[in-house]
Amino acid sequence: MRTQSTLDRAQSANNPPQSPLKLRGDKRGVTVAVAGNPNSGKSTLINAIAGTRLYVGNWPGVTVEKKSAMFEHEGRRIKLIDLPGTYSLSPYTQEEIIARDYLVKEKPDVIINVVDATNIERNLYLTVQLLELGIPLVIALNIYDEAEHMGYKINIKAMEEMLGVKVVPTVATKKSGLDELLKAATEVADNPSRYQPKQLNYGEDIESAAVSVQGHIRERYPSLNNKYPLRWLAFKLMEGDSHDMEEVSLNIDASFFEKATAHLKKAHGDDIESIMADERYALATGLTREVVKRPEVRKMQITEKIDRVVLNRFLGIPIFLAAMWVVFKLTFDISKPLGDWINDATAGPISRMAAKAITAVNGPLWIASLTTEGVIAGVGFVLAFVPVIFAMMFFITFLEGSGYMARAAFVMDRAMHSMGLHGKSFIPMLLGFGCNVPGIYATRTLENPRDKALTALLLPLMSCGARLPVYVVFIGAFFSAYAGTVLWSMYVMGIALAILMGVLFKRTLFRGESPMFIMELPPYRMPSFRSLMMHTWEKGKHFLIKAGTYIFAVSILVWFLLNLPWGVEHKKDSYLGKMGQIIAPALEPIGFGNWEAASSLVTGLIAKEIVIGSMAEIYAVEQEEEETTTVSEDLREMGTTFITAIGDSFRNVFATIGIASISAEEDAEQTGLKSVIQKKFTPLTAYAFMAFVLLYMPCVVVAFAMKHEFGGWKWFGVAFAYQMFLAWGVALLIYQGGRLLGIG
Amino acid sequence: MNLAMLKPGEHGKITKIGAIGQIKRRLMDMGVLVGEKVKVEKIAPLGDPIEVTIKNYNLSLRKKEAEGISVEVAK
């Protein structure tokens, strides 16, 4: 049912850009769909072909990522569509349904099937299913260099003949074979009749049943004739996979199919779906045996050597934890100097220059204030943690691309499972540390709705990059001597509470069996730098756009809330101040029952990093007078501090492991905010405040992501309620507990 | 004898897949088929899941799923 509506939307969304493309006479545009297994190097191949022309969006109606590109290749318009990576075209996972619906309904001119040359047999299983569709196909025999290196000899000619398709060896990471691949694809698309893929023989029993089903369809439902590839449709109906095609299943003649498949079932003693899967694999295995010559002596692969250590009984967990720690440390240390620089530059020289420019043209004081305290401060706070987000995305992409992410899931599954989750839940959770939003979207890798909902519910407890600016300021103000430890404790607190809540949810909202865990452990591979940068950029850009719009708008809104009603003298009497005063008493027992903290927390509901921006705004009145400087001095200051910042970043990369470089940065200019915070908070209330910011409700963008992913507000409502309660409770424990122990 | 009972390093040959529906299809899609040779490589540090080699690649699955896969021990 869901698929049907998805398809309708997919069609209406995809048709308009397609029609002009097809009307170009002999220089017809070519629509190329790229299909392949996960870990076959498909996204690297797409990146290598399309480069910056790649457009990343979503499949209509669902939130699975859709990459596409339009470009000219040797005078031809090529439209490239990246299908989700799948092992099969079964009707069970969202990715598989999207891939096959696109192929069946949109009928691309040609499919590029990316096949991992080091793992041909399993990859060909998908190829066999793609061939059933009757769409012209070209195989990109990817990772070809590695296969050669391992001693495989692949007879490409034989492969082409047996499948009736073109086969092009490629090495996507080295960009080799890509021109040939595109050339083959356009040639095949131009001569579909010459390159009709072979219809592989599924054996007498299946074939004869399929023939009678095809006849039945042709006779009874002639309207379906041109709509679907008939042989494929017959297979699907036999497999009992008809629920995806409403129009067929409505009229299905059950007794006919019973009769047509009775012999097949009896002779093979299994359900038809399994008989078909068996036969497809038999074909893949047979083909592989014919075309691939394996090396006589199998060398121990590098992957095995690494896994012997990384998945070791005793070392596995410590290595995993160490890897995570290094990732965070690196992320933080590399990005901090740059973030600080952006912060200082916008708060100092840029604001001064803007103010000067406005006074020079006799602009009113409130415009100068809106520009510097609203616009520039807002943009500055957004940009200041862009380096953190990008660094985080870079390392997470590296973990994914290198193959370690699957090991992390393997190592962690038992632990995740005990809180009712799947080892794969770990990946969205880990992404959640970068930003909860991509984490929520990544829950779609979980096939089961139950796993997915529970993961999304616990995910906001993962301390995201947007919470980092809050920690950075508070740690800088109170805990710079043990910055790393205090920061680490925030992350650990989130994880510990997620475990607790997971166990709780498992016993209440999510009772029952937890679903399957069947996952490939791909070979370790060094991701190409280019591909790494592109993925980082794609993910980072998404964040930047989100930050740029939401946070900037909110920053302006906050300025207005602070400065309205017109002529308000003290921030306390502004709208925001009044809101803060109402909430403050509720925060009294947890250590920060003042209107300033309460007001900033209100703005943080929109996005947590804004808490700091708002504080800066609220406390701005109390900042000391700035020194007078000339424009050229300002520019020079920005330049020299930038060079220092870059130098610090590079130094930190090498200094990171084992050396606490955060605490060594005493010379870094403290912003006015830090000194104000030192006056307003104690170390104890600061820590309680950090915990509160970690836990209280997910931001608005997460709210929209959850609504989007789950098609309603239900799960967000649950998340909001339990997190508010949790945040207040934990902050209370910290503050009151701390006071009992005589701290603060 | 089922797959979960094999020790790391032991080989087996699959004789029956007990699972049904989506899990069965998923296993078959990943190459877990009757007659296939399988080798248990590792058990995760926390005791579950397990890693096996099948069709020349590495697959991990939980013991609970492995218990549904009957094998005969091969030497």
Where are chain B's structural domains? 3-74
- Judging contacts by C-beta atoms under 8 Å, the chain A residues touching residue B59 are 518-521
- Judging contacts by C-beta atoms under 8 Å, the chain B residues touching residue A316 are 44-45
Q: Do B8 and B72 touch, CB atoms closer than 8 A?
A: no
Whether B49 sits inside 8 A of A414 (CB atoms) is yes
Write the residue in B24, B31, B61 that is nearest to A517 by C-beta: B61
Whether B65 sits inside 8 A of A312 (CB atoms) is no
Whether A119 sits inside 8 A of B42 (CB atoms) is no
CB under 8 Å to A254, separation ≥6 — which residues?
Answer: none
Residues A470 and A476: their CA atoms lie apart, in Å, by 10
Q: What share of chain A is helix, strand, coil (3-state, %, to 5)?
A: 70, 5, 25
Query: First-to-last CA distance in chain A?
Result: 60
Q: Do A130 and A199 touch, CB atoms closer than 8 A?
A: no
Whether B65 sits inside 8 A of A274 (CB atoms) is no
Angle at A362 between CA A359 and CA A364, to 5 degrees: 85
CB pairs under 8 A between A and B: 111
Q: How far is B60 from chain A (nearest CA, A)?
A: 5
Query: First-to-last CA distance in chain B?
Result: 14
Q: Do A78 and A71 touch, CB atoms closer than 8 A?
A: yes
φ, ψ of residue A327 in degrees (nearest 5) = -60, -45
Alpha helix locations (H) across A269-403? Answer: 272-291, 302-310, 316-345, 351-360, 365-369, 377-384, 386-402
With H, G, I as helix, E, B as strand and everything else as coil, classify residue A112: strand
- Distance (Å) of CA A694 to CA A465, A543, A573, A587: 11, 19, 28, 15
Q: Does domain B3-74 have CATH number 2.30.30.90?
A: yes
Of B56 and B14, the structure prediction assigns the larger pLDDT to B14
Residue A117, token pair as written in the block: 């040359």
Residue A410 pLDDT: 92
Exposure class string for A37-61: b at 16+ Cβ within 10 A, else e: bbbbbbbbbbbbbbeeebeeeebbb
Beta-strand runs (E) in B1-75: 11-17, 37-43, 50-54, 57-61, 69-74
Write the residue in B28, B30, B46 that is nearest to A415 by C-beta: B46
* DSSP conformational letter for A375: I
Q: How far is B42 from chain A (nearest CA, A)?
A: 8
Residue A399 pLDDT: 82
Whether B49 sits inside 8 A of A87 (CB atoms) is no
Write the residue in A90, A313, A417 that is nearest to B45 by C-beta: A313
Q: Report chain B residues touching chain A, CB-CB < 8 A.
A: 17, 22-31, 33-34, 41-49, 51, 55-62, 65
- Judging contacts by C-beta atoms under 8 Å, the chain B residues touching residue A311 are 42, 44-45, 51
Beta-strand runs (E) in A692-733: none
Residue A421 pLDDT: 86
CB under 8 Å to A544, separation ≥6 — which residues?
Answer: A382, A386, A389
Exposure class string for A79-110: b at 16+ Cβ within 10 A, else e: bbbbbbbbbbbbbbbbbbbbbbbbbbebebbb
**Closest chain B residue to A514 measured between Cα atoms?**
B64
- Distance (Å) of CA A111 to CA A39, A102, A718: 18, 11, 43
* Ordered mean pLDDT values, 10 residues apiece, chain A (744 residues): 40 41 59 94 90 76 76 90 92 83 91 95 96 94 93 94 95 93 94 88 90 85 78 85 58 71 81 90 95 77 89 90 78 78 82 84 81 79 73 78 87 86 79 75 71 91 84 86 86 91 88 79 88 80 67 75 75 85 92 89 80 76 56 82 82 58 37 78 93 89 77 86 95 93 75
Q: Do A393 and A540 touch, CB atoms closer than 8 A?
A: yes
Q: How far is A304 from chain B (nearest CA, A)?
A: 10
Whether A520 sits inside 8 A of B59 (CB atoms) is yes
Residue A659 pLDDT: 40
Secondary structure of A611-665 as H, E, C letters = HHHHHHHHHHHHCCCCCCCCHHHHHHHHHHHHHHHHHHHHHHHHHCCCCCCCCCC
Dump the DSSP string for A130-177. Answer: HHTTT--EEEEEESHHHHHHTT-EE-HHHHHHHHTSEEEE-BGGGTBS
Q: Determine the angle formed by the axes of helices A386-402 and A316-345, rounding to 10 degrees.
A: 150
Write the residue in B34, B49, B56 that is nearest to A517 by C-beta: B49
Residues A113 and A124: their CA atoms lie apart, in Å, by 9
Report the half-sphere exposure of A159 (CA within 13 A, side-chain side).
Answer: 27
Neighbours of A137 (CB within 10 A): 25
Cβ-in-10-Å burial (0-12, 13-18, 19+) of A672 comes to middle
Residues A704 and A199: their CA atoms lie apart, in Å, by 46
- Judging contacts by C-beta atoms under 8 Å, the chain A residues touching residue B63 are none
For residue A69, what is the enclosing H or E element?
Answer: strand A65-73
Residues A673 and A617: their CA atoms lie apart, in Å, by 9
Residues A551 and A544: their CA atoms lie apart, in Å, by 10
Q: Which residues pair with A56 in a beta bridge?
A: A67
- Distance (Å) of CA A737 to CA A488, A591, A678, A689, B51: 20, 11, 21, 14, 45
Whether B56 sits inside 8 A of A121 (CB atoms) is yes
Cβ-in-10-Å burial (0-12, 13-18, 19+) of A262 comes to exposed
Position A698, amino acid: P
* DSSP conformational letter for B2: B
Position A57, amino acid: G
- Dihedral angle computed from the Cα positions of residues A80, A81, A86 and A92, in that order, rounded to the nearest 10 degrees: -160
Pick the CATH number of A2-190 from 3.90.1150.10, 3.40.50.300, 3.40.50.1820, 1.20.1530.20: 3.40.50.300
Q: Where in chain A is the domain with CATH 3.40.50.300?
A: 2-190
Q: Do A421 and A409 touch, CB atoms closer than 8 A?
A: no
Q: Report chain A residues touching chain B, CB-CB < 8 A.
A: 87-88, 90, 92, 119, 121-122, 125, 273-274, 277-278, 281, 303, 307, 311-317, 406, 409-411, 413-415, 417, 423, 516-523
With H, G, I as helix, E, B as strand and everything else as coil, classify residue A568: coil
Query: Which residue from A673, A284, A621, A285 is spatially nearest to A475, judged by alpha carbons?
Result: A673
Angle at B48 between CA B43 and CA B50, to 5 degrees: 45
Q: Determine the angle formed by the axes of helices A42-50 and A529-546, rounding to 10 degrees.
A: 80
Q: How far is B35 from chain A (nearest CA, A)?
A: 10
Residue A678, token pair as written in the block: 């030192």
Residue A596, token pair as written in the block: 């300033």
